[in-house]
Amino acid sequence: MIRISAMLFASVFMSSLMADEAWQPAVAGYKYEFPRDHGNHPQQKIEWWYYTGHLDTREGRSFGYQLTFFRIGITPKTTIDSPWAVRDLWMTHLAVSDLKTGTYHHDDRLNRAGPGFAGAANGHLHVWNEDWSATQSTNGSGPMMLKASNPKFGLELELLEGKPAVIHGKEGISQKGVADGNASHYYSLTRMPTQGVLKLGSEKFEVTGHSWMDHEFGTSFLEPEQRGWDWISLQLDDGSDLMLFQLRRSDGSADSHTSGTWVPTNGPPIPLKSSDFTLLPADEKWTSPVTKGQYPMKWRISIPGRQTQLEIRTVFPDQEMLTRSTPGLHYWEGCITAEGLNNGKPIKGRGYLEMTGYSGPAMSRWFSPPTSE
């Protein structure tokens, strides 16, 4: 078998929670360079390349998609000189939401690098897991190319960068906790013109739309009392974009390190602190028949300083990623719509919502700093 087994994943991953000072934390003052920072950052323990988007056909059929490449470091330096030694684990999640039928298709992969099974290039975008990949030319010119499919569904997309990269947080880091090292380097490409082909069964659809790329890298993202997060990306019909994430503590309260970024149609991004907005779930929930997690299906966003009030609705309930390769790592990720007011004027939009920590172990189990115990 090429793919690493779930049992081996659990054993190897838990060993990575041992204290290891060789991984470099995300620190203030980091200077981003592109295309360099589209590539791999092997000195950090955790990294992901996250693509989501809405796609339409000429006939009016609509889809959402997710393609995410994760790297989780196991040890900064392996003790044996072999391609089979496990320095990093490479996970990839693929999903397509069919908005017409309300059907969610998903798949996942888990590999070690081995002799080329999975990995990422340094200095430019080239990340792959077997034949699933995200690539761009070494000099950063031209589109990003996404390819991922299995016998039942898949996609092949071309993404232009669109707006300039948006750096989230302050001084080059997005702080996630009290400790200095609990942070990430985090940027987004928020409105990427997209075209290509999407496959469902025997059908192929030519699609166009917009994508959103998130790229984060660091060594420790969460603290033990942080159970999970709610993350929203929105592309609004006035040309502005919005990212918010809300960290949830074990008692259900919002963590003060919650933050976001407003991206105007033109002009520099505007950072949002936790005190600048509220992100509140409504009573409407969906209970997963598999994990029994209860996920809010409607949210309300308020940004008083911008006179912004938005109601967020999920397009259909069952968009829960149930990973086969990583037992217990389940989350909801799917299409949403937005409607409300911005500066007192009506506005609409669509985007993606991610909700973690509603079922299974707390997400801090996967993304907390190592302990000395």
Whole-model pTM? Answer: 0.92
Instruction: Specify the higher pLDDT residue, 15 or 69.
Output: 69
Q: Which domain holds residue 363?
A: 6-19+29-367
78, part of any domain: yes
pLDDT-derived band at 373, boundaries 50, 70, 90: very low
Look up the CATH number of the domain holding residue 257.
2.40.370.10
347, part of any domain: yes
Block residue for tokens 């009290």: 178
Give CA 128 to chain center in angstroms. 16
Mean pLDDT, rounded, for 65-74: 97
372, part of any domain: no
63, part of any domain: yes
Exposure b/e, 156-165, CB count within 10 A at least 16 = b: ebbbebbbeb
223, part of any domain: yes
Percent of the chain residues past pLDDT 90, beyond the cut:
77
Counting the structural domains of the chain, the total is 1
Q: What is the pLDDT of residue 360?
A: 75
Mean pLDDT, rounded, for 213-238: 90
Q: How many DSSP H helices and E strands does the chain contain?
A: 2, 25
5 pLDDT higher than 60: no
Beta carbons of 163 and 268 less than 8 angstroms apart: no
349 pLDDT higher than 50: yes
